Structure 1
Amino acid sequence: MSADTVYKHFYRTMRLSASELSDGGGPFGFDVTTALEFDFLIERYQCDAIIETGSNMGDTTEYLARTYPHLNIVTCDVMDKYVDIVRRRVGFMPHTYVEKVDSPELIAKFKDEFRCPLYYLDAHWYEDWPLERELALIDNGVVCVDDFNIGHPRFGYDKYGEIECGPQMLSRFIDKIPHYYTNNPEAQHELPCLQTGRRGGKAYFAIGQRDHMKHHRYFRRHETPRPSG
């Protein structure tokens, strides 16, 4: 996929989530650099599906469905209103699957259906944070954890109670995630980011796949910390 194709689909996607999300909505929180990072991963790993956890109103879902018609696009939400909206946006496309289920249930249902899925873990179920359950289920593919602490003031991250969405969370899975990558704030992307508000940090890693991120400017490598205690 070329940067021109990413650009065309990214900026033509309606931002229905503008009033719902802290970043103002849009595909990937209106951060086109994430779209370029995903495009690299999809091409290099030859992904055959994208599994998104937490669709909200479907801004990212619609972007992915229109940009990658050759891939299976799987998404979910637990709110009826969001599921209904996303089905209206993408349900007519035969390569999309929109489910009303908890995200770990979605992963359990689809994880063995594809050779190399790309997981976009962005589920926020109010007081429930399913990330740990999601990661426990994934044993093959490429993973992006959204709203991850990359240690840069320009990029926000999530925190649930005393648990931070950051490196220590990944330490619980060090056996299958010995190292990970974050988005590189200093990288030169083919398109400039027009998001002037909140940007979310990203953690990327491959499980059961070769490491194709090692030498690319988009990513910074980190060793997963040992579990504390």
Structure 2
Amino acid sequence: MTESATPAAPEAPKPRGRASLKDMIPLRTYVLDEQTPSAIQFSRHMLRFSGLKAFSAGVDLLWGVQGTTSLNKADSFASRDAAHLRKRVYQVELLYRLSGLPPAGSSVTEEFAKESGYLHFSRMSSGFRKILRDRMLTWLAEAEDAGRDELSTLDFEDLVKQRPMLVHQLMGEDRHIKAVIHPVLLPGNVSLRIATVRNIPENIEKVYTRFYEEIKTTV
């Protein structure tokens, strides 16, 4: 007579609403203050980059520094500014959930962007890159942008650096786009990569102030 096998323990249910790190786009912004604030609102402290026009920014958009290299740069700049002003720097993090992000290094096609709502301007198929660049140059011509002739000679990412509000225009026209990873310039011609995302409450996994759990942090 053989012993019956011990039933396997049921798998513990995963916490509802959580997603793996591969489904997350982290954004970071910074607050400089003389004292520890009791509360911080992410959207009131978003990065001010060259070419930002607050009056034409998408009201449903959020943005912050993204990517290891850019975060290291931005952390350094924020710490330097805080020391100069004799203030403390607070790193405010927002985790944006978007299912089905592509593997690192893979190219985003037009079809994938429509299905996922995700764009990465440094990782796009050449055909899709040309389509977006042509659209943006058309917008500049329609707006009678004074620098459009010179801008038409730039490659796609340099064009976006010089006219970053084109990202907001793109997301305003293509409502299926939820997140765009793209470059911006800071004063001094310093390039950073940021993520601009659509403020959809169910896509925001978490917003918090790093190392300061006591600070009430909201979107």
Q: TM-score range by the shorter chain?
A: under 0.3
Scaled by the length of structure 2, the TM-score of the pair is 0.27
* Higher-RCO chain (CA-CA 8 Å, sequence separation at least 6): 2
Scaled by the length of structure 1, the TM-score of the pair is 0.26
Give the structure with the larger helix fraction. 2
